[in-house]
């Protein structure tokens, strides 16, 4: 009988990721790499140290990857660490009145008002809408007879936008979904870069590249969304409450601040719709694209997901996402290796201390889930694909502030249950219905461009089962 140590254990797959440079980059190299792909800036020491400092001419940046210090920044002393000007500038274009961007009392009121829209029960009720969007995608793929190499990254943005369209406006977008998606891509293309002007602290009055495209795209969105809101308001006024469309738009228009009983203004409703669309679309699409890529490289896991999907998708929809435990473990491992929001940042208002580090007022705090999730001191075999970590019996052992794909504390992602449920359901449906292999010669590389996505798309050969 073989001893356990004699049994061959298949080595875990190591997915593509930049090799951290042994030394910190100099200023010019740092600026150009930040423009191209910020992931390539993280030097080896950052993956080993709990806290590291970067001195830039106008910035004192502190890279925080110590769980206790992260907890202090994001939770215990969160009031002292606010969204910093770079992040606010990048994220607030057109979203200025939405939850992602507002601060202080306006944020508190919006968060309270919007919380019921993303409560577990509300999200569970959206299961069917999510499955319908997955079905629409499988029909599209089945219809593409003979053209089986598809850019899965682009396909995933289509399905996640479709999910949002179905869950926010169940009676559909008045404009064409493809046109909307193109505008969404133009929007991300314009805001997607951390420019040297931002890093050097140039005032907002100095025009940034892509500003005009962005303004044009924003006015397109506003037109489409205002029309939808006006139509829905008229319908809601005319119909009995019980017959109102069961979607996020109805909930948004009816949402009242529990403390004051006040509804949201038109600007807030519009800004929050845009916020949900932009915060929930690419992030979830990337999660799905990376999950499918990882499964294409790890056939054992693809088989396990398929077995689970064959079994559970045949059973009643009630509680479906909760039963897809293997599928969900793959999604969570994809979120660990390729967190769509690869870095969070905050600006310190007052001085503080994080462990032995003194933080000066105005310091830029960077917490990078990408680094944290691959930190040498916090994870075993951090660069390897191993969904076992997220199976229920092991999941409980993952310490809270070592895994932050959705952030933490008061500003944690409000859509995390929505996104996890959506990604799990769609992944199960796709793996059940198709064999998906990476196209020969495809080069897959992670790039951080607002979200962390495959740099050259994800061409895969799709064969219906
Ligand atoms: C896998 C998908 C997603 C990921 C990885 C993700 C990640 C994040 C992260 C890290 C934050 C916190 C940012 C910070 O602290 O600076 C955040 C905030 C937020 N997310 Fe998500 N998100 C996802 C999906 C969604 C979805 C589906 C929605 C809505 C439909 C959404 C809406 C929001 C909003 C509104 C905020 C701001 C919350 C606040 O400031 O109170 N996200 N998200």
Chain position carrying tokens 């990048």: 90
Bigger pLDDT: 418 vs 102: 418
Stated as kind and residue range, the H or E segment containing 353 is strand 352-354
pLDDT of res. 202: 47
Judged against a pLDDT cut of 50, whether residue 3 lies above it is answered with no
Closest residue CA from atom 7 of ligand 1: 406
Residue 39's pLDDT is 96
| Structure confidence at residue 205 (pLDDT) | 53
Which ligand 1 atom sits nearest the alpha carbon of residue 101? 40
Write the DSSP symbol of residue 122: H
d(CA 117, CA 121): 9
Q: Tell me how many degrees the CA angle 156-141-153 measures, rounded to the nearest 5.
A: 20
Give CA–CA dist 140/285, Å, rounded. Answer: 17
Q: What is the CA radius of gyration of the chain?
A: 22
Q: Does residue 89 surpass a pLDDT of 70?
A: no
The confidence score (pLDDT) of residue 146 equals 63
Indicate whether 226 pLDDT > 80: yes
Domain ranges of the chain: 4-464
CA of residue 185 relative to chain centroid, distance: 15
- pLDDT, tens digit, for every residue of 324-349? 999 999 999 999 999 999 999 999 99
Q: Which residues line ligand 1 (CB under 6 A)?
A: 99-100, 111, 275-276, 279-280, 283-284, 287, 340-341, 344, 405-407, 411, 413-415, 418-419
Express each pLDDT in 52-70 by its tens digit. 998 877 777 999 999 999 9
Pocket test residue of 91, 247, 252, 415 for ligand 1, highest count of atoms within 8 A of CB: 415
Q: What is the pLDDT of residues 348-385, one digit of tens each?
A: 999 999 999 999 999 999 999 999 999 999 999 999 99
CB 107 within 8 A of CB 99: yes
DSSP 396: T
Tell me if 273 sits within 8 A of 114, measured CB to CB: no
Ligand 1: which residue has its CA nearest to atom 27? 280
Residue 201 host element (H or E): none
Protein residue with its CA nearest to atom 21 in ligand 1:
413
pLDDT the model gives residue 461 = 94
Q: Distance (Å, rounded) from C-alpha 39 to C-alpha 42? A: 6
Element (H, E) at 326: helix 325-337
pLDDT bracket for residue 193 (50, 70, 90):
very low
Residues 434/464, Cβ–Cβ less than 8 Å = yes
CA of 245 from ligand 1 middle (Å) equals 25
Cα(16) to centroid(ligand 1), Å: 25
The pLDDT-based confidence of 227 (bands split at 50, 70, 90) is confident
Q: Whose CA is nearest to atom 39 of ligand 1?
A: 411
pLDDT bucket at 145, cuts 50 / 70 / 90: low
pLDDT at 1: 43
Q: What is the DSSP letter of 229?
A: H
Residue nearest to atom 13 of ligand 1 (CA): 407
Nearest ligand 1 atom to the CA of 418 is 27
- Closest-CA residue to 86 (of 211, 200, 215): 200
pLDDT at position 209, please? 53
Ligand 1 centroid to residue 39 C-alpha, Å: 20
Q: What is the pLDDT of residue 78?
A: 97
pLDDT band, very low/low/confident/very high, at 94 (cuts 50, 70, 90): low
Ligand 1 mean position, distance from CA 262 (Å)? 24
Cite the DSSP H helix spans in 258-405: 266-297, 299-312, 320-323, 325-337, 369-372, 392-395
Quick one: fold of 4-464? Answer: Cytochrome p450 (1.10.630)
Given a contact cutoff of 8 angstroms between Cβ atoms, the answer to whether 374 and 317 are in contact is no
Q: How confident is the model at residue 4 (pLDDT cuts 50, 70, 90)?
A: very low
- Band the pLDDT of 215: cuts 50, 70, 90: confident
pLDDT band at residue 293 under the 50/70/90 scheme? very high
Mutate to test the pocket of ligand 1, among 162, 279, 403 (most ligand atoms within 8 A of CB): 279
- What percentage of the chain exceeds 70 in pLDDT? 89
Question: What's the CA gap between 292 and 437, in Å, rounded?
Answer: 9
Q: Atom 19, ligand 1: which residue's CA is nearest?
A: 413
Tens digits of per-residue pLDDT, 419-456? Answer: 999 999 999 999 999 999 999 999 999 999 889 999 99
Asked if the model's pLDDT at residue 92 lies above 60, the reply is no
């Amino acid at each position: 009988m073989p001893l356990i140590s004699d049994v061959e254990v298949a080595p875990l797959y190591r997915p593509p990721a930049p090799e951290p440079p042994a030394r910190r980059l100099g200023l010019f190299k740092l600026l150009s790499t930040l423009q191209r792909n910020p992931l390539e800036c993280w030097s080896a020491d950052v993956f080993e140290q709990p806290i590291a400092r970067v001195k830039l001419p106008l910035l004192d940046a502190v890279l925080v990857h110590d769980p206790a210090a992260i907890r202090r920044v994001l939770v215990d002393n969160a009031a002292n660490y606010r969204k910093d000007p770079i992040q606010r500038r990048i994220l607030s274009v057109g979203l200025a009145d939405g939850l992602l961007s507002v601060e202080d009392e306006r944020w508190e009121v919006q968060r309270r008002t919007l919380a019921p829209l993303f409560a577990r029960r509300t999200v569970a009720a959206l299961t069917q809408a999510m499955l319908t969007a997955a079905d629409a995608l499988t029909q599209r793929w089945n219809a593409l007879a003979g053209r089986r190499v598809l850019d899965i990254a682009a396909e995933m943005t289509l399905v996640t936008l479709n999910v949002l369209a179905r869950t926010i406006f169940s009676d559909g977008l008045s404009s064409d979904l493809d046109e909307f998606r193109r505008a969404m891509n133009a929007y991300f293309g314009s805001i997607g870069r951390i420019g040297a002007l931002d890093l050097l602290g140039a005032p907002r009055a100095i025009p940034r590249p892509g500003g005009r495209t962005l303004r044009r795209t924003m006015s397109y969105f506003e037109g489409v969304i205002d029309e939808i809101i006006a139509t829905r308001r008229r319908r809601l006024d005319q119909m009995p409450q019980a017959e109102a469309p069961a979607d996020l738009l109805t909930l948004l228009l009816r949402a009242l601040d529990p403390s004051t009983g006040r509804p949201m203004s038109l600007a807030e409703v519009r800004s929050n719709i845009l916020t949900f669309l932009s915060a929930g679309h690419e992030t979830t699409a990337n999660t799905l694209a990376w999950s499918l890529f990882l499964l294409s490289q790890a056939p054992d896991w693809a088989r396990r997901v398929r077995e689970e999907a064959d079994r559970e998708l045949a059973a009643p929809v009630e509680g479906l996402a909760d039963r897809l435990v293997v599928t969900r473990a793959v999604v969570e491992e994809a979120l660990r290796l390729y967190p769509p929001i690869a870095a969070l940042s905050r600006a310190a208002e007052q001085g503080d201390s994080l462990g032995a580090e003194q933080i000066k007022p105005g310091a830029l705090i960077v917490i990078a889930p990408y680094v944290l999730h691959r930190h040498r001191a916090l994870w075993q075999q951090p660069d390897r694909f191993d969904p076992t970590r997220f199976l229920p019996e092991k999941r409980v052992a993952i310490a809270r502030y070592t895994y932050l794909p959705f952030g933490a504390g008061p500003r944690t992602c409000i859509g995390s249950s929505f996104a996890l449920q959506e990604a799990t359901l769609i992944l199960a449906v796709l793996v059940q219905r198709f064999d998906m292999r990476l196209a020969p010669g495809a080069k897959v590389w992670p790039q951080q461009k607002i979200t962390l996505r495959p740099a050259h798309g994800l061409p895969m050969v799709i064969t219906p089962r």
